[in-house]
Structure formats: structure tokens, C-alpha cells
Amino acid sequence: VYCDKIRHLVDPPPPHLAGRISFHRLNIKNDSRLEGLIKMADLTINLAAICTPADYNTRPLDTIYSNFIDALPVVKYCSENSKRLIHFSTCEVYGKTIGSFLPKDHPLRKEAEFYVLTEDESPCIFGPIVKQRWSYACAKQLIERLVFAEGAENGLEFTIVRPFNWIGPRMDFIPGVDGPSEGVPRVLACFSNNLLRREPLKLVDGGESQRTFVYIKDAIEAVLLMIENPARANGHIFNVGNPDNEVTVRELAEMMTEVYAKVSGEPPLEEPVVDVSAKEFYGEGYDDSDKRIPDMTLINKQLGWNPKTPLKDLLETTLT
């Protein structure tokens, strides 16, 4: 449990936050202080998780425990003490899209209902058990079901957040620079690491998977609306993403190479990308979702939220 990313807010807090922050460094799975802290609070927001794809099939037990077993006491204490809970899940609970099972040239692949992901309608389709990459999504889905059940049976006031690739400054670690010295971070930090080291960006299986990216500042605005509007947020699951910022991972690599050259003044590499297999990059048991496009109807209807920042702008802010 490290707090490097927020050290500037807590050690010591800046003047405008003095007296407003009480920081407790603890591990939620084995600290007796947890229930007391939840009892003191009006609202609990649970973001504790192992949520790095490289860990899902190399540390599946830690991933399952972190995202399900270790989260159980938080849900339990909130329910028993009538405390509101905002629980962070993931867009990965959707798994694979229906469209991914159709032939690549099938006309239905272009129909939105086969690839746009809707909170209360889209099925959650995971790969086989031997593909341990889905250990994360499965654990996250099960804790969502538990939270929902606590709401239905015991009156827990809850909101579930499904982030779709939030990115921005301090959002991940770069090995040997900040955070853990080893390991494989998420895609934006992986590419940033390659750019800083003047290495080709590694595209897993050709970088054909499609993703949407939302700027962290926009996403935090959505969470603030959930906090400030409990009557409109309670009992709902919300996608928080930006469907306008959809790219393939290969396109993301090309954009980041261009933006980094602009902000750093360094010329791009002659060979900026290199293809690697999923097995080579992530190890045995990796699988992937093809496309993640969030339906934003519900959060717009309930909270009036829409993302604002275009992908190139948020990449420039993040890489600067």
C-alpha cells in the first residue's frame, strides 16, 4: 500500500486543505480500523483494487481476493451502519461484445446493439476459465451483484461506477520512475514508458482492440455529481466514459508518438511501433475484449453529465 501519488496532498496537506483531510494508511483486508472509519463517514467511496491487466493472469488469486473478498467488509459495514456507498467497478464486467462472435465481415457488426454497452441491458460475456485474464472482470461482477443484493434486501444506498479507461496525470506508474520499480502498467503508461526510453511502442496482437478514453478531470466531475445528487444516483450503475474518444490501440500509439514529439521536441523513432503476441507480453492465459463503447444515456438522464475533452487534448495534457 503506497501513497506516492497523493503525498503532495497529505504530507503535509497544502494550506487550502489543512483541517479538511484526515489520512489513514491501511490495508482494507486486515485492519480493525476500517469499520470505525466507515461509521464516522457520511459516504464511503471504494476504489481499492488490483486493476492492472498484466496482473490478472499472473496473479489471479491476488486479483480475485482484492476485487471480491477484500471488498466484502466494506460493503458489509456500509450496509450494517446505513452508510451510503459509491463502489468502483470496471467496464471489464461487460467482457466481450456480442458483435465479437460474428464473422468480421458480418453486417450486424455495425449495428450499435451488438457493441454499445448499456448498464442494465448488455450481457456480461467472459472467456473460458483457462483464460485467467477474466479473473478480474468476474470478481468485479460478483461484488457488483453483492452490492445490488444488499440494496434490494437490506436497503443499502449505493451507486456503482464503471470507468471506461480514465487517463490523465498521475494515473498510473512508470517502472523505475514512480510507483513500483517493476511490472507492466496499463496501456497509456506502457506507451509513455516506451516513449521516455526511446523504444518502439509494443502493440499486443497488432493493437487491433478498440478502446475509448476519458479525461480524469471530466470523470471526477461525474463522480462529484453522484456525491451531490444521492436521490438521482442511488441504486444506479453508471458508465463513465467518452464514446467520442474511440480508437484502436494502434491508433492510440500513433497519436501518442505524434503528441510526445510535439511536447518533448524529440523526433519520432524511425520505427515507432513493434508487434508482440499477447502470450509474450502478458504471459499464458491472456484474453481480451474487442471493443468497449459505453452507452451514456443513463448518466446523462440522471445526472446531466457528458464528457468534454477530446482525445488529442487529454493526451497532450497527460504527456506534458
Provide the annotated active-site residues: 136
The sign of the dihedral angle between the CA atoms of 25, 29, 35, 41 is positive
Q: Where are the beta strands (DSSP E) in 54-205?
A: 84-88, 116-117, 158-163, 166-167, 201-204
Q: What gap in Å lies between CA 249 and CA 17, rounded to an integer?
A: 38
- 125 with 132: CB under 8 angstroms? no
C-alpha cell at 190: 506502457
CB atoms within 10 A of CB 108: 12
Counting every residue written for the chain, the total comes to 320
3-state DSSP assignment of residue 160: strand
Q: What gap in Å lies between CA 240 and CA 91, rounded to an integer?
A: 9
- The residues, ordered by sequence, that sit 6+ positions from 38 with a Cβ below 8 Å of its Cβ are 44, 74, 77, 78, 81, 83
Q: What gap in Å lies between CA 292 and CA 222, rounded to an integer?
A: 19
